[in-house]
Amino acid sequence: MLFQSYIFILLFFPLCLLGFWGLKRQKLLQLWLIAFSLWFYGAASPYYLLLLLGSIAWNYAFFRAIERGIGRVTERVSGSAMERAEYGMECDSSRKRLLLGIGIAGNLALLCFFKYFNAISAGWSQMKGLEDPILQLALPLGISFFTFQQIGFLADAYKGEVGACSLREYVLFVSFFPYVSSGPIVNAQEMLPQYRQIGRQRLDWAKFAGGLYLFALGLSKKVLLADTFGKAVDAGYGNVAGLSGTDAWLVMLFYTLQLYFDFSGYCDMGRGIAHMLGMELPVNFDSPYKASNLIEFWKRWHITLNRFLRKYVYIPLGGNRKGTARMYLNLFIVFLVSGIWHGAGWNFVLWGALHGALYLITRSWQLKQSRQQCAADVHVQSGTKKSGVFSAVQHVLCVALTFLFLNFTWMLFRSANLSQAGEFVGRLIGGGFAAPAVQITEAFNLEEFWYVIKILHLDRLPGSELYLCFGFLAVALWIVFFARNAGEREKSFEPNGKNMFVTAFLMIWCVVSLSGVSSFLYYRF
């Protein structure tokens, strides 16, 4: 089941809301949300629901074992009471580390099996001279998200940061439908207290209206923008060899926009749903394409994933505690892990390596600039209007270059393999310039626009599809670079007539457009 579907909007979520705000007892409300969360996830495939439940059982068993602290002091240990206690604590700690290691290994084994089995199977079949892979597995919805989430939970439990957690609370923590398939990657400290407040809060109509508004914004990002750009991208990648240079550059840009509107729109919808249920989810995007360098970009893009990698990969590797050279190595490893997490293929490894290399270059440059800051203070104090203009121009150029780099590296995401990526680069460089192909621009000729065009007789104008294409592109770029993002709009939201009209208009438009092909793009990463 997807947020942008008739069954979710017209049946699933209204029923969920009625029961949630109609029931009063906390345990019953938690069970109600669990039932709907399992329905949401199991709608994709009952087999994947069993997989999710098995993963939950595995991790909760290890959590309880870690919590109990196996390996208490035995009377067989000789020595004083203090010596026996110290020995017992050491044994207890070592057993906890072993339990943590086995628990995490089980999660990683499950994730690696489903994410990389197809790549291994394809490679094996190629070695044997077979035309088709022996077996291909579909990637379970959201497996990367709920696996990382449970790894973080076990690690936090080991460090004593979780406390008591019932099975009911844990199942809800892992399976809660606003984030189980799309993120954000949440932690126990920010969600368990909210689950324990269920049934104690009253319906806040202002917050509910804000949640509906946020859901409408996310739905419009996904259905009206991401899915429309996606049709053009699919048409382009369906015939890479036939692309002109103009087509290739447009398709690359369209995919950059599709990826952002798809993922950020889905996260906005999830946060809006949580608001309507009286809860809060962490912000996952903060206008990432406005970043002037890659370090700033990674503070704005998929914020919860970066939080996870920093806490559970970068810091355990040593962080910046073991010198500059080791810090750079740890950062590069983090980006390689991020690339491998996103997909099985050398294109994802290359993506991680390119981002890691530029991140390190930027970090080194920033450290050098900070050392020269004292010498620059005099110039700052005597700065002129010209220097201000120069700084503004410099900022714009940095944003443009960062955005260009992101476009190029996202292309690696969309490419099936390095071979196709290389072919696409060839079209970018040597494809020549020509009018955009009709099979790409016709994706923007939406039915609702077609009626307006016919009424106004604009269909008689040559190149009407081109106008729609570049009109869509202009709107998308304005939203990305100049408009307030969903988080900023949420902070200033007021349930007035204007905002309610915008919400209703977007909801109706999106629901009418749901008849088109729509899916969640980012789940496969």
Q: Average pLDDT by consecutive 10-residue portion of the chain (525 residues)?
A: 87 92 89 94 87 94 83 44 47 79 92 78 65 66 89 92 90 93 89 90 88 93 90 89 89 94 92 93 92 94 92 89 88 91 84 93 85 59 60 90 94 88 89 82 72 57 72 91 89 87 88 66 56
Residues 297 and 6: their CA atoms lie apart, in Å, by 35
Q: Which of 192, 210, 211 is nearest to 272 (CA)?
A: 211
Q: Decide if 395 is catalytic.
A: no
**Does 489 lie in the same domain as 401?**
yes
Domain presence at residue 63:
yes
Residues 281 and 275: their CA atoms lie apart, in Å, by 8
**Does 224 lie in the same domain as 195?**
no
Q: In Å, what is the CA distance from 426 to each residue of 22, 242, 335, 419, 494?
A: 60, 11, 26, 11, 50
CB atoms within 10 A of CB 409: 19
Q: What is the pLDDT of residue 377?
A: 56
Q: Which of 402, 430, 425 is nearest to 414 (CA)?
A: 425
Scan for tokens 């950059």, then name that residue.
256
End residue of a domain, out of 202, 229, 250: 202
In total, the chain counts a number of residues equal to 525
Domain presence at residue 104:
yes
Q: What is the pLDDT of residue 84?
A: 42
In the chain, helix, strand, coil percent, each to 5? 75, 0, 25
**Does 253 lie in the same domain as 178?**
no
Residues 15 and 435: their CA atoms lie apart, in Å, by 50
3-state SS assignment for residue 161: coil
Scan for tokens 């016919």, then name that residue.
454
Q: If phi over 0 gives left and psi between -120 and 50 gives alpha, with beta otherwise, what is residue 345? A: left
Query: HSE-up of 397 (CA within 13 Å, CB side)?
Result: 6
* Per-residue DSSP letter, 317: T
Our measurement of the distance from residue 37's CA atom to the centroid of its chain's CA atoms, rounded to an integer in Å, reads: 19
Taken in order 251, 257, 259, 265, is the CA torsion positive or negative? negative
**Does 243 lie in the same domain as 165?**
no
Tokens of 276: 């309507």
**Does 246 lie in the same domain as 136?**
no
Domain presence at residue 384:
no
Tokens of 20: 């949630």
Domain presence at residue 45:
yes
User: What long-range pairs does 107-113 form, CB within 8 A, spacing at least 24?
Assistant: 107/55, 107/58, 107/59, 107/147, 107/150, 107/151, 107/154, 108/147, 108/151, 110/51, 110/55, 110/143, 110/147, 111/143, 111/144, 111/147
Domain presence at residue 381:
no
**Does 224 lie in the same domain as 143?**
no
Q: How many domains does the chain have?
A: 2
Domain presence at residue 520:
no
Q: Which of 292, 287, 290 is nearest to 394 (CA)?
A: 292
Q: In Å, what is the CA distance from 247 to each residue of 237, 418, 454, 469, 473?
A: 10, 20, 27, 12, 14
Single out the catalytic residue among 275, 302, 342, 355. 342
**Does 189 lie in the same domain as 48?**
yes
Burial class (CB in 10 A: 0-12, 13-18, 19+), 213: buried
End residue of a domain, out of 155, 171, 202: 202
Residue pair 263/254 in contact by the 8 Å Cβ criterion: no
**Does 193 lie in the same domain as 208?**
no
Domain presence at residue 292:
yes
**Does 185 lie in the same domain as 213?**
no
**Does 85 lie in the same domain as 10?**
yes
The model's pTM is: 0.87
∠ at Cα 184 (182, 189), nearest 5°? 140
- Can you list the alpha helix ranges (DSSP code H) found in 372-463? 373-381, 385-414, 418-430, 438-441, 447-455
Tokens of 27: 């345990």
**Domain membership of residue 122 as a residue range:** 6-202
Domain presence at residue 237:
yes
User: What long-range pairs does 191-194 form, CB within 8 A, spacing at least 24?
Assistant: 192/162, 192/165, 194/279, 194/280
Residues 117 and 115: their CA atoms lie apart, in Å, by 6
End residue of a domain, out of 185, 202, 219: 202
Q: What is the pLDDT of residue 107?
A: 92
Q: Which amino acid is at 182?
A: S
**Does 282 lie in the same domain as 399?**
yes
**Does 494 lie in the same domain as 418?**
yes
Residues 447 and 425: their CA atoms lie apart, in Å, by 33
